[in-house]
Chain A
Amino acid sequence: AQSVTQPDIHITVSEGASLELRCNYSYGATPYLFWYVQSPGQGLQLLLKYFSGDTLVQGIKGFEAEFKRSQSSFNLRKPSVHWSDAAEYFCAVLNQAGTALIFGKGTTLSVSS
C-alpha cells in the first residue's frame, strides 16, 4: 500500500535561513506527489505538485521540491524562510486507484527571529 513518511515532527528555523522538509513515499509506479501547507486557523493550501517531467518543481510562496526516484523522496525547500512561513506542512501521494491523496503526518515549522 502507498504511504508517506515525514520524519521530522517539528522543525525550528531562524528567519532568513534556508529550509528543507523531508518526505519519503512508498509507491510502486511513478507517483503523483503534492505538498500542502496549513497555516494556523486556515485550510490546507496546495504549495506544489509533481506528476512527471522536470524533477525540480516550483511552487507558490518561493517553495520548490525535488523528486528523487532513487531515494523515494520529495523534499520541500525554501532558500530564505519568512516568519509567515510558520505552519504545518503535509506531503501527499495519490493512491494507485487515483481516488484519494495519502498524507503524511505533517511537519510543524516554527520560525525564530
Chain B
Amino acid sequence: GAGVSQSPSNKVTEKGKDVELRCDPISGHTALYWYRQSLGQGLEFLIYFQGNSAPDKSGLPSDRFSAERTGGSVSTLTIQRTQQEDSAVYLCASSLQGDNSPLHFGNGTRLTVT
C-alpha cells in the first residue's frame, strides 16, 4: 500500500516568507509525527498528533512554527517568517496507534531559506 507522502519534496523560500509543508499519512494510522533533520543533528522531534489533537507539541522551536491535522489524516506544518536556521529536512511519520507502534517515515521536505 501507499506509504507516507510529503509535499513538496523541495522548497526554496526567501527569509521572512511563510511556508506550508504537507504530510499524507498511511491510511488508518491515527498517530502522526513531525521531525526536523539538520546536518549532524539527528532527528529533532517537533510535534505529535493523535487523531486531530496534538497532545505533545513540546518540540516546536518557536511560535513561528505551528501544525494542524484535519479529518484524522492530512497534516500541515506551517513556518511563519522563515529564518535561515529553519533550513533543514522536515520529516513526517505515522504509526498505527502511537505509543510503541513502529513509525513509518516519509521521504521528507528539504527546506532551504535564502
Which A positions have Cβ atoms within 8 angstroms of B?
9, 32, 34, 36, 42-46, 49, 51, 90, 92, 94, 97-106
Contacts and interface: CB of A to CB of B under 8 A. Distances in A.
B102 interface: yes
Given A32-B100, A44-B93, A44-B105, 16 more contacts: A9-B40, A43-B91, A43-B105, A46-B103, A49-B100, A97-B56, A98-B98, A99-B55, A99-B98, A100-B56, A101-B33, A101-B103, A104-B42, A105-B41, A105-B42, A106-B42
Nearest to B55: A99
B99 interface: yes
B100 A94 contact: yes
Contacts of B4: 43
Interface in B6-58: 33, 35, 40-45, 48, 55-56
A44 B99 CA distance: 18
Query: Size band of the B side of the interface?
Result: 20 to 34
Contacts of A98: 98-100
Nearest to B95: A101
Interface in B70-107: 91, 93, 98-100, 102-103, 105-107
Contact of A100 (B3, B45, B91, B105): B45
Closest 3 CB pairs of A and B: A105-B42, A99-B56, A103-B43
B96 to A, nearest CB: 13
Contacts of A44: 43, 91, 93, 103, 105
Contacts of A51: 100
A90 B33 contact: no
B61 interface: no
A54 B108 CA distance: 34
B45 A46 contact: no
